[in-house]
Amino acid sequence: MSGCSVRHYTLQISTQGKGTTEITNEVAQCLRDSGVHEGLVTVFVRHTSASLVIMENADQSARHDLHEFFDRLVPENTPWYQHTCEGPDDMPSHIRMALTRTSETIPVTGARLQLGTWQGIYLFEHRRASHWRDVFITVMGVS
């Protein structure tokens, strides 16, 4: 039992159109800065056309196939979409976000993220254009 520390960080992540960008190192840097040894890191994407996924970090082909799967499951130019004011990638981006995650909570012990060996944290961009995306990091726990 001891005092509870809460620290917040905002990451601004540059994305290059549709696909996944690894942010594991950036999240780990927030944890180091916080001084928290035991607790939780919460990652929260502040957008509805980008999302999170914890994904295999070794072989790029896994992420290639993940992108391809979502392009096929939620295609652009579907005739029944009504929400197309920002272009053919507008509505698919919201659906792909809803099918993945907005927040993830990762345990911390011994001042380290307890990710598995092959797990990386990825920001998943669903729009065609490049964007700056805000990812909010909260580290909560004890020193």
Binding site for a copy of itself (CB under 8 A): 1-6, 8, 38-40, 42, 44-49, 53-56, 59, 61-62, 64-66, 68-69, 73-74, 80-83, 85, 91, 94-95, 98-107, 109, 114-119, 134, 136, 138, 140-143
CA dist 140 and 37 (Å) reads 10
CB atoms near residue 55 (< 10 Å): 17
Instruction: Identify the burial level of 80 via C-beta atoms within 10 angstroms of its C-beta, where 0-12 means exposed, 13-18 middle and 19 or more buried.
Output: exposed
Shortest CB 74 distance to a copy of itself, Å: 7
Check if the beta carbon of residue 42 is closer than 8 Å to that of residue 137: yes
Please name the residue that has the structure tokens 């995306």. Answer: 133
Shortest CB 88 distance to a copy of itself, Å: 13
Shortest CB 16 distance to a copy of itself, Å: 20
Nearer to a copy of itself, 19 or 136 (CB): 136
Shortest CB 143 distance to a copy of itself, Å: 7
Question: Of 143, 126, 129, which is closest to residue 45 (Cα–Cα)?
Answer: 126
